[in-house]
């Protein structure tokens, strides 16, 4: 059967905005996060403490985080290395995420490392975060296909999943970074992956319009944490064919239709994405935002 409740891990302010050509003012980002919290989202990925040259869109992490940290929600942040962790801990972050790759090509493009060297870079990050009582998510990118390498074999993905869990990650987010997965492939990976479903999250991009179908396959498997991006913002600056993430509104429409509780007020969320679309100067790609839009 399907779960009765799903926790949405909102990534619009991070995965969404990191891929915008325009650099969004810190004020607008803070307002975006506040509005997302107002709409009932309880896990809102705020920003990344990465090298500012690699992701200039998030170079204001030090300015942004203190402006949202009072909100009564979980605010995970991405940290690639100990330098990133230091920056996040200095501001009181209580949830961090490291981000690995199932493929060598993307590990090189995103982290300037081999897969193994990136894992070695994360190890002290995870250990120190855990010692501080900070929760750690492990992202795994390119779980289904890679723009340079094509389809990614399931055993190759499973191996890196276990490496992340073995080093102490509390949660594992399975990323379809370029949105090529289909439900059968999702089922195949989840079946092969011998990990308690409570530890799993899914992170779908909607490049081929499969994100909701893939989510449904994951729900049937027992997964109850789903990543999504308000308005369908997003992509990845180091994966050329990545388009937007699954739109949070499209996800909420499906989940509420299935009688699955999310705690999200869809009207408020749509209003937030319409407001953000105005700031970005282009309409939201989310079908649900467009259908419920006031204009
Ligand atoms: P590197 O060039 O190999 O860095 O980059 P390094 O370790 O050689 O250090 C070089 C310089 O950078 C040093 O400064 C460091 O101090 C500095 P210098 O001594 O030369 O003056 N530095 C930093 N500065 C600030 N903050 C830091 C930091 N680290 C080093 N944290 C690095 C390696 C990992 C830093 C770089 O590749 C990087 O920042 N990558 C981040 C890329 C990124 O954020 N990608 C997007 C997120 S992943 C994603 O979107 C996928 C996901 O959504 C899931 C999915 O869809 O699949 C999560
Ligand atoms: Mg992503």
Could you please report the per-residue DSSP string of 109-176?
HHHSS-HHHHHHHHHHHHHHHHHTT-EEEEEEE-SSEETTTEE--HHHHHHHHHHHHHTT-SEEEEEE
Task: State phi, psi for 136 to the nearest 5 degrees.
Answer: -120, 125
Hey, what are 194's tokens? 């011998």
- Ligand 1, atom 10, lies closest to the CA of 51
Point out the ligand nearest to the CA of residue 112. 1
Show the low-confidence residues of the chain (pLDDT under 50): none
* Ligand 1 near 76 CB (within 6 A): no
Point out the ligand nearest to the CA of residue 141. 1
Element (H, E) at 9: strand 7-10
Ligand 1 geometric centre to CA of 257 (Å): 40
Decide: 146 and 106 in contact? Cβ < 8 Å: yes
Element (H, E) at 202: strand 200-204
The number of helices, as runs of H, and strands, as runs of E, in the chain is: 11, 11
Q: Catalytic positions, please?
A: 236
pTM: 0.97
- Ligand 1, atom 25, lies closest to the CA of 51
Atom nearest to 118 CA in ligand 1:
34
pLDDT at 71: 98
Atom nearest to 11 CA in ligand 1:
53
Is the Cα dihedral 58, 61, 67, 72 positive or negative?
Answer: positive
CA distance 269 to 251: 12
Q: DSSP state, 293?
A: -
- Ligand 1, atom 16, lies closest to the CA of 83
CA distance 159 to 101: 11
pLDDT at 55: 95
* Ligand 1 near 112 CB (within 6 A): yes
Ligand 1 geometric centre to CA of 78 (Å): 10
CA distance 180 to 151: 9
The three-state secondary structure class of 10 is strand
If one residue of 9, 51, 113, 171 were mutated to test the ligand 1 pocket, choosing by the most ligand atoms within 8 A of its CB, it would be 51
CB environment 109-140: b (16+ within 10 A), e (fewer): bbbebebeebbebbeebbebbeeeebbbbbbb
Point out the ligand nearest to the CA of residue 175. 1
pLDDT at 239: 58
* Ligand 1 near 110 CB (within 6 A): yes
How far apart are the two ends of the chain, measured CA to CA in Å? Answer: 38
CA distance 83 to 122: 11
Decide: 125 and 82 in contact? Cβ < 8 Å: yes
pLDDT at 20: 82
Decide: 245 and 232 in contact? Cβ < 8 Å: yes
Decide: 49 and 85 in contact? Cβ < 8 Å: yes
Ligand 1 geometric centre to CA of 122 (Å): 12
Give residue for tokens 């040259």: 53
Decide: 83 and 52 in contact? Cβ < 8 Å: no
* Ligand 1 near 32 CB (within 6 A): no
CA distance 251 to 219: 12
* Ligand 1 near 55 CB (within 6 A): yes
pLDDT (tens digit, 9 = 90+) per residue, 197-240? 999 999 999 999 999 999 999 999 999 999 999 999 985 555 55
The three-state secondary structure class of 98 is strand
């Amino acid at each position: 059967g399907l779960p009765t409740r799903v926790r949405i891990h909102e990534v619009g302010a991070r995965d969404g905005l990191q891929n915008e050509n325009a650099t969004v003012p810190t004020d607008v980002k803070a307002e975006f996060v506040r509005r997302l919290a107002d709409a009932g989202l309880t896990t809102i990925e705020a920003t990344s403490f990465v090298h500012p040259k690699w992701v200039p869109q998030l170079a204001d992490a030090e300015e942004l985080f203190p402006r949202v940290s009072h909100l009564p929600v979980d605010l995970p942040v991405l940290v690639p290395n100990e330098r990133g962790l230091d920056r996040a801990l200095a501001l009181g972050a209580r949830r961090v995420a490291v981000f690995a790759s199932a493929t060598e090509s993307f590990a090189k493009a995103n982290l300037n490392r081999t897969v193994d060297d990136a894992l070695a870079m994360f190890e002290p990050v995870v250990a120190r975060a855990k010692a501080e009582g900070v929760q750690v998510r492990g992202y795994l990118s390119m779980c289904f296909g890679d723009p340079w390498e094509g389809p990614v074999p399931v055993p190759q993905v499973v191996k890196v999943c276990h490496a992340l869990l073995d080093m102490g990650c509390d949660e594992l987010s399975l990323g379809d970074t370029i949105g090529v997965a289909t439900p059968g492939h999702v089922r195949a990976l989840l079946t092969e992956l011998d990990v308690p479903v409570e530890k799993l999250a899914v992170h779908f991009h909607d490049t081929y319009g499969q994100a909701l179908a893939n989510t449904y396959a994951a729900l049937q498997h027992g997964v109850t944490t789903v990543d999504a991006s308000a308005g369908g913002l997003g992509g990845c600056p180091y994966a050329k064919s990545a388009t937007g993430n699954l739109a949070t509104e499209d996800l909420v429409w499906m989940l509420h239709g299935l009688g699955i509780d999310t705690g999200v007020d869809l009207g408020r969320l749509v209003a937030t994405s319409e407001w953000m679309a105005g700031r970005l100067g282009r309409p939201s790609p989310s079908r649900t935002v467009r259908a419920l839009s006031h204009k």
